[in-house]
Structure 1
Amino acid sequence: MQRKDVRSSQLVDSGVAANYRQNNDFHAGHAEHEATMKKPHLFKKIIRAFKSCFGHGFDGADAVCPSHCVQLYHYVTNHERLSVFQGASKDSALGHKLNVEVELRHCSSYSMPLPPVFYHYFRTPLPYARTLLLQEKIHQLQHAARRSSSHNDILLLLEHRPVYTSGRRQTEQELHTERTRLTSIGADFAVAARGGQLTYHGPGQLVGYPLLDLSRTSPPIGIRDYICKMQKMIQSYLLRTHGITHIPSDHTGVFLDPVTKIASIGVQVRHRLTTHGFAMNVTKEPLEWFGRVVACGLADVKAGCMVEAKGKNVRVEDVVPGIVDEFGTSYGRDMVKLSPQNAGELGEAILALEEDALAAGEWLRAPSPDS
């Protein structure tokens, strides 16, 4: 899939779709198709087709001639694989209002096009707790907008300030001693709602938080399939871009050999909306921090990184474009760069987090000795 750098003002305007539904008779052949057809990304394309054919926006008072209907039919049929039929006009004239019925073609080769995933890369390492709040904010926005199909899928790419996080398998009583010890060496400590156990995030490690609606496809993507795609995406990127091979493992994540793990995966899915995601070690900086814990509950496994596996210097920012492309390919989505300045409430939250990250200043480059 190609990455597209466009302004976020080009995000689908659900208001346009709502006006179109209000001013025009737009029906799907079946109830489930009606729900699908109300997706704003599809309305955007239909409205673009009207403008292309008629030279103006479609309005209930616009007069439309039959030749325009023919043009629209061919345009939409060729571009969207939809059949468009002119309904009987409510007026006897050529039509003050065009009644259009859009019907999905029932054929095994057709699948509804999915909207793009909007991605953003944070260039300053982020505090974990504030990033967790941003994920929750996006989850709430997506859930609230889902009924009108005006929600967008998001991929956040970033580094964290040094932090150890626990998964939902562990209790606070189990973690009390570890929390005290790990904060004493200079890292933050947080309890997360993701799967998995204790792990580390910090500078030199690329973290990806996909916030996706798994119900966009029919049937919806299952959690296991979602995780499997994520794991294969990382494996494919490492091999195709850097020639780094992996070995199969019974454990979730990407392993360079039976005792060296280069990438971890831990997700949470609520209402078929995803949070949390993956972490891939790029530089050597995370390795010493990993050495202070038994990461992911695997006592006989150590952390590896791309720099050691490749034998060459690699920076986190250099990895981002390739991961974006591979993510789009793996999930069958176009990837569009997000412009926070034009992304409304979501953009404001992103910019606020970036300001917090800058205000936090420097971070420890290596853990302090155990006291």
Structure 2
Amino acid sequence: MSPLDPAEPLLRLLGRVPYEPTYAAMRAFTDARTPDTPDELWLCEHDPVYTQGIAGKPEHVFAPEGVPIVQTNRGGQVTYHGPGQVVAYPLIDLKRLGPQGIYVKEYVYRIEEAVIRTLADLGVTGHRVLSAPGIYVRLDDPFAHGALRGPADPRDPFRGLGKISALGIKIANHRTYHGVALNVAMDLSPYQRINPCGYAGLQTVDLATLGVHADLGDVAARLGTHLTRLLSP
């Protein structure tokens, strides 16, 4: 946070932290904040955990193998957090973003845009898929710049794609918490024991899978910079 720009979210680097205390802390922060509370952006890495959104169905976790499952109040269904993944939690008052504030759709767009810009810094092209929040890459050529023209197979909108970033948010009285995860260099096997985001067979990838060997701290810094720029008044 620049001392010359107090409206910029305060960046907090939490390091590797367990999920449940972090979830409790961001809920407490959001419940306690006032119209004058500065916005914050938390960046961290979590110990292994499956988290279920409010729409989460137990059958989408079919072999947890000792990884804890935490029920949350964010949107969406099940995802996995673990070492080698950058997680960003924007704690933002949406009323501050523009003369009339912004709505949920615009907020999601800005978070996804921050991920797309972070990937672009590393030479990877990220894509949105209609009605499936998060960011995806082409498995055959993740560095191609062309836009997606539609699914290769309308019966399978994810054919040829891998998910590299999952998004799940909660907004209470225009104030946000939860956030977005970007896979850098992970053990991806826990994703094979769930239906990621509720989609059976959805392939999950990380930067290392794509041949991009990036430092976790560098990726976190890039994502933090882009989120700060896009979520500042």
TM-score range, shorter chain: 0.7 to 0.9
Amino acid at match of 1:249: V
For residues 225 and 46 of structure 2, what CA distance do their matches in structure 1 show? 22
**How does 1:299-314 map onto structure 2 within 5 Å?**
299-309=200-210, 311-314=211-214
**Change in 2 beyond 3 A, CA 1:332/1:290:** same
Structure 2 matches for 1:81-96, cutoff 5 A? none
Structure 1 match to 2:225: 325
CA distance in 1, matches of 2:61, 2:123: 37
Structure 1 SS opposite 2:133 = coil
Q: Name the residue aligned to 2:164.
A: 262
Partner of 2:148: none
Q: Displaced runs of 4+ in structure 1, greater than 3 A?
A: 176-179
* 1:200 and 2:101 matched: no
What SS does the aligned partner of 1:267 have? strand
Residue in 1 that maps onto 2:182: 280
Q: Does 1:175 align with 2:58?
A: yes
Residues 291 and 176 of structure 1: CA distance in aligned 2, closer, same or farther (over 3 Å): closer
102, 105, 108: which one pairs with 1:224? 105
Structure 2 residue aligned with 1:137: 28
Alpha-carbon spacing, 1:177–1:249, altered in 2? closer, same or farther (3 Å): closer
Q: Secondary structure at the match of 1:307?
A: coil
Structure 2, unaligned stretches of length 5 or more?
A: 139-157
Q: Call closer, same or farther: CA 1:228–1:324 in 2, change over 3 Å.
A: same
Matched, 1:210 2:90: yes
Name the aligned partner's letter for residue 308 of structure 1: T
Q: Kindly state the Cα deviation for residue 219 of structure 1 after the two structures are TM-superposed.
A: 0.7
Task: Pick closer, same or farther for the CA change 1:332–1:264 going to 2, 3 Å.
Answer: same
Q: Provide the TM-score with structure 2 as the length reference.
A: 0.83
Q: How far apart are 1:303 and its partner, in Å?
A: 0.6
Normalised to the residue count of structure 1, the TM-score between the two structures is: 0.53
- Give the % identical residues: 26
Q: Please list, as runs of the form range in 1=range in 2, the aligned pairs for 1:20-99 lying within 5 A after superposition.
A: none
Checking the alignment, whether the CA contact within 8 Å between 1:284 and 1:308 is kept in structure 2 is no
Quote how far apart the aligned CAs of 1:176 are: 7.8
Query: Which residue of the other structure, out of 268, 289, 295, is the alignment partner of 2:190?
Result: 289
Show structure 1 runs of 5+ residues with no match.
7-44, 46-112, 334-371
Give how far 1:308 is off: 2.0
Aligned partner of 1:115 in structure 2 is: 7
- How far, CA to CA, are the matches of 2:184 and 2:41 in structure 1? 19
Query: Which gives a bigger RCO, structure 1 or 2 (Cα 8 Å, sep 6+)?
Result: 2
1:216-262 Cα offsets, whole Å, 9 max, x none, are 132111011000110011001111x1010123411111000243000
Larger Rg: 1
User: In 1, distance between residues paired with 2:191 and 2:61?
Assistant: 13
Distance 2:199 2:89 in 1: 23
SS, match of residue 176 in structure 2: strand
1:126 is matched with which residue? 17
Q: Secondary structure at the match of 2:99?
A: coil
Q: 1:161 aligns with which of 47, 69, 77?
A: 47
Question: Are 2:133 and 1:252 equivalent residues in the alignment?
Answer: yes
What's the C-alpha RMSD, in Å, of the aligned pairs?
A: 2.1
* Equivalent residue number for residue 298 of structure 1: 199
CA distance in 2, matches of 1:118, 1:327: 11
User: Could you say what secondary structure the match of 1:318 adopts?
Assistant: helix
Mapped partners of 2:232, 2:18: distance in 1? 31
Whether the 8 Å CA contact 1:204–1:315 is kept in 2: the answer is no
Q: Post-superposition shift, 1:114?
A: 7.3
Please give the secondary structure, in 2, of the residue aligned with 1:304.
coil
Contact 2:87 2:181 in 1 (8 A): yes
Tell me, in whole angstroms, the C-alpha distance in 1 between the residues paired with 2:43 and 2:228: 14
Shift of 1:284: 3.1
Residue 201 of structure 2 aligns with an amino acid whose one-letter code is: D
Greater strand proportion:
2
Between the two proteins, the alignment pairs up a number of residues equal to: 210
1:189 aligns with 2:80: no
Give, in whole Å, the separation in 2 of the partners of 1:196 and 1:161. Answer: 21
Q: CA deviation at 1:177?
A: 9.2
